[in-house]
Amino acid sequence: METTTTTGPADHAPGDYVHGYSGREARRLGDQADTLAGLLHDGTSYPAGSRVLEAGCGVGAQTVHLVSRSPGALLTAVDVSRGSLEQARARVAASVPGARVAWAHADLHDLPFGDGEFDHLFVCFVLEHLPDPRGALAALRRVLRPGGTLTVIEGDHGSAFFHPDCAHARAVIGHLVALQAAAGGDALIGRRLRPLLAGAGYGGVTVSPRTVYADPGRPALARGFTLDTFTAMVEAVGDEAVAAGLSTRAGWDRGVAGLRRAAGPDGTFCYTFFKAVAVNPPV
């Protein structure tokens, strides 16, 4: 069961999210979360009764894992997109019947919560899209009680490498990074989580790499991650990259074909996520 949807800011403009808001993109995010849940959520479980805020829940791809792994926690999930919140609500209702989540439409920089209202914050695949991730982290810290924890998970597209190596495939990944930068984000943010969190006033920052490696011996991962997550993400911004003059259509298609070969019978693919846990210093 879900509870209130707090009123919030005007809805987010679809163009602001580099991956778009299509149904296909929602499925991609769901596939990604399911494939990676064990790797990314390992070590994240909140005590019964603790007040947890998921900041930037999107379509709820991570929310379902949060409620499954911390069934007694009091979870609030916020997002800047009303459409995403509706999908998240539906996803949680379908995946974890009976789960209690408070949904709120809000901007991370202007959260409708009191100081120190939460024991724990969880932020996954959000900072990479923000022009001012350090400012967002500082704004989040306001609603975290002193001594409470923040968990941040982000990828880093510069961590991707594969066999057979392919200059076209490397190029399209570079174009995706450039598009995300042009939209104000940073697809290489994983490597700088530690300085970001320290700079936003958090203490006790520990960062761990979470590396995904897929080869023909792990066919579910080769399909679920190499093809349906990473390659699909690249493929989805092809029109935009061509329109921006970063690539020709033929060049884009060669790059995507190169990524697909990494999921072939002799292929391998490697990508590293980063998970940071930090503490709001006690007063």
Tell me the closest approach of the beta carbon of residue 165 to a second copy, in angstroms.
7
Tell me the closest approach of the beta carbon of residue 223 to a second copy, in angstroms.
16
Between CA 248 and CA 5 the distance in angstroms is 44
Tell me the closest approach of the beta carbon of residue 47 to a second copy, in angstroms.
25
Helix residue spans in the chain (DSSP H):
23-41, 63-69, 82-95, 133-142, 167-182, 193-199, 219-221, 232-236, 238-243, 249-261
Tell me the closest approach of the beta carbon of residue 209 to a second copy, in angstroms.
4
Q: Give the nearer residue to a second copy in terms of CB position, either 37 or 270.
A: 270
Q: Give the nearer residue to a second copy in terms of CB position, either 91 or 175.
A: 175
Q: Which pair of tokens denotes residue 12?
A: 């987010």
Q: Give the nearer residue to a second copy in terms of CB position, either 201 or 209.
A: 209
Please, which residues have CB within 8 angstroms of residue 219's CB and are 6 or more apart in sequence? none
Query: Which residue from 230, 222, 236, 234 is spatially nearest to 264, judged by alpha carbons?
Result: 222
Footprint of a second copy (CB under 8 A): 156, 158-159, 161-165, 188, 191-192, 194-195, 205-209, 211, 213, 215-217, 266, 268, 270, 272, 274
What are the φ/ψ torsions at residue 263 (nearest 5 degrees)? -105, 10
Q: Give the nearer residue to a second copy in terms of CB position, either 118 or 162.
A: 162
Q: Which pair of tokens denotes residue 107?
A: 């901007």
Tell me the closest approach of the beta carbon of residue 163 to a second copy, in angstroms.
4
Between CA 246 and CA 264 the distance in angstroms is 27
Q: Give the nearer residue to a second copy in terms of CB position, either 27 or 134.
A: 134
Instruction: Look at the alpha carbons of 14, 221, 34, 66 in this order and tell me if their dihedral is positive or negative.
Output: negative
